[in-house]
A and B are shown apart, each in its own frame.
Chain A
């Protein structure tokens, strides 16, 4: 997928999901486990030259989306005849949570079940979202070009504090998928969303 298009899609979709709120990707430091720093200054983001030209997202969105982790990762494997392009980290729509995504196997298969390990931390403190009856994760996916979603609901198990194992994810068709992560904590549900492509 064209990088610019991807960034644009993500900007639009996160705005929609958050109902006008702000969402985006996190930076590389937080992916490696360090405490996430504050969003990059707007000026610096623009200096990197990756600001989408077709849409005019707010400066803050631009800053988030231009942080390094906003770029979807292309996952490949020697001998495999398909690739997957997806971000391995995302920020929820209202910026309360950081999510790190680890597919197992590392290259998600086409039309075969796979597992996604989702680690959720509070964006401000970096602490894992505490386990408890009031915290839950929901996962769903949709193919916007085909107007259909998953054929089966994945099973979701909490492995530890803030760590969820999403099993039996089945992307049965090549193309673009949107994947939704709904984090419910008490009365509030907040969504994080990624665009991914399997081809």
Chain B
């Protein structure tokens, strides 16, 4: 970073703040870092840290967060009744084998839709950190290794994973059949629930084809069910995933101070630009420039949605690094609920085409998905196994790579990953910027609705 080439002229007058605090802040910040407090070396003469052309373009690309794009693989994706039902299901612990775990156990709104734990703990202890789900509706790939390519498909995985919710699709059918409110909600969104209470009760409670063990009791029970009944069970199960996905699409990041700042740049509004402290503005400049964060954390969600190996060692130093993205491709190909499957509402669409065109190259080994940095200050700990407890530790990792996996060990890391050698002040600035990506969360996301269906949805019926 270099200071402005010429002494800055007098700051322009502005309408919402007194001059004295501004002068003080200028003096303080200038004393601390002697960097780019460019009051007016930008054409618009605004009082802000100057950004290069590239830094400015990347900044403008990063705001606002757009509406979630259509998901043709889920015909219920934007149905408010489906989202309402899905919001209920998201918080419903009956979807787990013990009756004590819901989606929200690990994706808890109180912790930024994560859980404050290093690795997830549901019915058992998981392998990975619970990723936050802010902006999940924008994701090209789901899970840390991207082993799922649609939000509704992703929502189904944890329900039957033995260390997450540990349930089975027949049990889910029974939970709905036994609750009049759930049945009413299901009927409203998807049409008549295909099982009577008696029919559902006759199903084995724990039957599913999802198991790696051919001797599994749940698999044997599944195979004993008549094919047409299995079809109806799968239909219910998929619809549950599609309802949860419809809710998750509403978990779109709120407007953050960074977004106000970008509005200020576009509208030449100094008061809005002031939404970011000078420290955060210097952090933004680093992020979009010299620190190279933007290469992977790009766009309005601050992620490219793809996979990289950033040399983060495993949480348990006695274990080998996880294969990451490399191991996900066979799972995607074998997934019976994939974007190209008959359960998709757009099996020939672009989502299916990209999945079919995946390249199983060697560099995938050890790669994990770039997480969105929206609301990131609320989602500690960080990295795929929660290896780093604070944002400071994350930034220090990229600054020094101390303790990092050696380059070329089990993986080919991106050559971008050279130690940044940041100063203490620069680390503070980057953290200040990362904190500016947090906005205020609406109450509608913080808990379940009163009932699985809304009164309006019944009136509409």
The yes or no verdict on A and B being binding partners is yes
Partner-B contacts on A (CB < 8 A): 81-82, 110-111, 113, 145-155, 167-168, 170, 172-175, 199
Chain B 127-142 interface 0/1 with A at a Cβ cutoff of 8 Å (1 = within): 0000000000000000
The answer to whether the Cβ of B208 comes within 8 Å of any Cβ in the partner chain is: no
Question: Which among B57, B361, B412 is the interface contact of A82 at CB below 8 angstroms?
Answer: B57
Interface residues on B, range: 20 to 34
Interface pair A151/B359, CB less than 8 Å apart: yes
Closest to B304 in A: A172
Asked if A110 meets B298 with Cβ closer than 8 Å, knowing A152-B358, A172-B306, the reply is yes
**In the complex, are the beta carbons of B359 and A150 less than 8 A apart?**
yes
Q: Are B354 and A170 in contact (CB under 8 A)?
A: yes
**B299 contacts chain A at the CB level, 8 A cutoff:** yes
Beyond A111-B305, A148-B414, A150-B359, whether A173 also contacts B295 by CB under 8 A is yes
Contact A152 to B359, CB < 8 A, known contacts A82-B57, A174-B295: yes
Q: In the complex the two chains form, is B359's CB within 8 Å of A149's CB? A: yes
CA distance A199 to B57 in the complex (A): 8
Q: Determine whether the beta carbon of A168 is less than 8 Å from that of B60.
A: no
Assess whether B217 is interfacial by the CB under 8 Å rule.
no
| Cβ-defined contact, B295 with A168, below 8 A | no
Q: How far is the CB of B211 from chain A (nearest CB, A)?
A: 29
In the assembled complex, the Cα of A175 lies from the Cα of B298 at a distance in Å of 12
Interface residues of B (CB under 8 A from A): 54, 57-58, 60-61, 294-296, 298-299, 304-307, 350, 353-355, 357-359, 361, 363, 412, 414-416
B61-A82 in contact (CB<8A):
yes
Residue of B whose beta carbon sits closest to that of A152? B357
The answer on a CB contact under 8 Å between A155 and B60 is no
Beta-carbon contact of B357 and A155 below 8 Å:
yes
Chain A residues with Cβ below 8 Å from B307 are: 151
Contact A147 B354 (CB under 8 A): no
A110 vs B61: C-alpha distance when bound (angstroms): 10
A199 touching B54, Cβ below 8 Å:
yes
Please, which residues of chain A bring their CB within 8 A of the CB of B354?
Answer: 113, 152, 168, 170
Which residues of the other chain, A, contact B416 by a CB distance below 8 angstroms? 145-146
Pair A168/B357 contact, Cβ less than 8 Å: yes
Q: Which residues of B contact A81 (CB under 8 A)?
A: 57-58, 60-61
A-B CB contact pairs (8 Å), 10 listed: A81-B61, A82-B61, A111-B299, A113-B350, A113-B354, A148-B361, A149-B359, A151-B306, A155-B353, A173-B304
Residues of B within 8 A of A110 (CB): 61, 298-299
Q: A146-B415, A174-B58, A199-B57 are in contact. List 12 more A-B contacts (CB 8 A).
A: A81-B58, A110-B298, A111-B298, A111-B299, A111-B304, A111-B305, A113-B354, A147-B412, A149-B359, A149-B361, A167-B353, A172-B306
